[in-house]
Structure 1
Amino acid sequence: MSISRTSPWKRASARRPERMAKLPYPDPAALPEENRKLLETLPPLNIFRMLSGAGASFPPFMALINAYLNHGALDAELRELAILRVGHLQASAYELHQHERVSRTIGMSAERIAAAGGPLPSPLYSEAENAALAFIDDQVKHVKADGALFDAAHKHVGDAGMQELILIVGIYMLVCRYLETMEIELEEKDIEGSGLEEIDTTMGR
């Protein structure tokens, strides 16, 4: 489950669709009005298509992810590295594909993106980034992270950043489990841009 600190991580393969999701994607016409209108304005991603069928959970879940993706306390690159680290730890190909794409659109180098699945500490990362990712590794493995690792990350990201980091870890463990259990397949073609602005515009209306 954990990423080796001495050898590169062998990541999950993010292949294009060779299977169908476990459940049929909901018919937009059959959705509750709030969910249908929300789905119509979000980026056309399969995860959102499937989540639209989750009833009353869909709108508040989208509001939650918008909060940290567009209005969060963490630096954008650190946030994406945290999400990618969880994706590697959970071996979720869809999650990795989408957030590697987001990472590229915010200007992160290919080398830094790839290192999110490698051993720590990484020379490509700052002290703050290495501390945050080490904390994530330990929290995913043990649930309650080591106090020294907590303190090292907290020193760099502060109170609000630390709370957000922990929430992101938990949310993406949930997201990865949802993606893998539901067998959500990659889209035939990537969306243009990050999709973050569309999410923010939709949730701010």
Structure 2
Amino acid sequence: MASTAVSSTNKAKQATNNATTDGTPITEEELKQKGTPITVDDIFRLQKSTNGYLTETDDNVYKIDFVHFRIRDMKTNKVLFEVQRECDEDEAMDNDDPSAGRFVQYHFPPSFLKLKQVGALVGFKVGNREVKSFRMIERHFFRDQLIKSFDFDFGFCPPNTTNSIEHIYDMPDIDSKQMKEMINHPNETKSDSFYFVDNQLIMHKKATYAFDLDYSQ
């Protein structure tokens, strides 16, 4: 079946805990024991980055498959990171690895922390079920201190389509002391990306960041 290409640009909304109905802190372990689906409100109650994953791979009943990812500096249009794959052929090979396809280790130059705005383009395929109210909450931490939280709405995605959307991030203001700490301690800067359909968590991806690249030639 032929795919329909759907594309758009999405400006981030800064997500805050004020959007939740219950601000009581909750732990990763408590969420894993939760008897009902994990919601956006639950995620806002987390106080630090997770150690593991809050979803299983088969929770993604919509067969959403990310196939393209690119980060660029919005001021210069310079591409800072890009990866693209043809299909989902690697999933079966990594069934014994719980982080397969769900974890990325980024390396950027220290100057990345001084950028004002970046664009993160994602391309993804949808299976044979329509996806209503597709939403991502992304939370960035340094040593369990929340740096910034983002809220992106993908909207409606028809079944059997290939979609692309660019999220525009307004980068957080980081003082020189914390910036130095983040540079000197690679991979202690982390992010959790939580994906929801109809306010039910279906995917969880994680990343770490090292600001150790030298782009000078």
TM class by smaller structure: under 0.3
TM-score by length of 1: 0.25
Structure with the largest fraction of strand: 2
Structure with the largest fraction of helix: 1
TM-score by length of 2: 0.25
